[in-house]
Amino acid sequence: MAEKLKACRNCRALVPLEEEKCPVCGGTSFTKFWRGMVIVVDPSESEVARIMGIKYPGKYAIAIAR
């Protein structure tokens, strides 16, 4: 993975390591141990976003570790 990202434990949004707060849900708990990335451009048109419960455009981890 070329990008240095961490995943929000609450909503699985991927944010830069230096970010202190999740821009999607406002959560402050992150993990560096995540796998798979899905990029959502238009949540209302995306089946993946609907299944994953994603409401905002962005990058999300498919799976996160504890």
> Rounded to whole angstroms, how far apart are CA atoms 45 and 20?
29
Instruction: Select the span of 26-34, 37-45, 46-54, 55-63 touching Zn ion (CB under 5 A).
Output: 26-34
Decide whether 10 or 46 has the Cβ nearer to Zn ion: 10
Q: How far is the CB of 24 from Zn ion (least distance, A)?
A: 4
Looking at the chain, which runs of residues are DSSP E strands?
A: 5-8, 14-16, 30-31, 34-40, 58-64
Contact 63, 31 (CB under 8 A): no
* 31 interacts with Zn ion by CB under 5 A: no
Which positions lie near Zn ion, rule CB under 5 A?
8, 10-11, 13, 22, 24-25, 27
